[in-house]
Amino acid sequence: MNKLDLCESEYRFASIVWENEPLGSGELVKLCNEKLGWKKSTTYTVLKKLCEREILKNENSTVCAIVKREQVQKFESEQFIDKTFNGSLPQFITSFMSDKKLSKAEADALKKLIDSYKG
């Protein structure tokens, strides 16, 4: 299993860290209770797991990320496209856009983005 493969609850937990880092472990417990409905023991169990996988670190009761949110999002996006669209980005975009309309500004921005990645 790739260490960046987070389940939904792990991703939501890591998001709390990403949005508030660095933060004390006590503050993390409070935020997880408010946002996830978790007890202290659940928070520390998930924190320990993500520290062991080197996603987060907890030093002197201060929690921060080792892995950035963008790294996890990139991994998950690639996994989704590989699994669902056999790795084809054009097939994904075609499916995603099938019932949507873009404004001229949005279309121009996407074209500019695509052009920036041409080899």
SS3 63: strand
pLDDT at 8: 95
Question: From first to last of its 119 residues, what are the pLDDT tens digits of the chain?
Answer: 588 999 999 999 999 999 999 999 999 999 999 999 999 999 999 999 999 999 999 999 999 999 999 999 999 999 999 999 999 988 998 898 888 888 999 989 989 998 998 87
Pairing of strands 62-65, 56-59: antiparallel
Supply the pLDDT for residue 100: 84
What pLDDT, on a 0 to 100 scale, did the predictor assign at position 1? 55
Residues whose CB falls within 8 Å of the CB of residue 41, separated by 6 or more in sequence, listed in order: none
Q: What is the pTM of this model?
A: 0.81
pLDDT attached to residue 97: 85
Residues 6+ apart with CB under 8 A from 6: 14, 55, 72, 76
Per-residue confidence (pLDDT) for residue 7, from 0 to 100: 93
CATH class given for the domain over 8-68: mainly alpha
Domain with CATH 1.10.10.10 in the chain: 8-68
The DSSP bridge partners found for residue 63 are 23, 58
Nearest to residue 26, comparing CAs of 44, 50, 49?
44
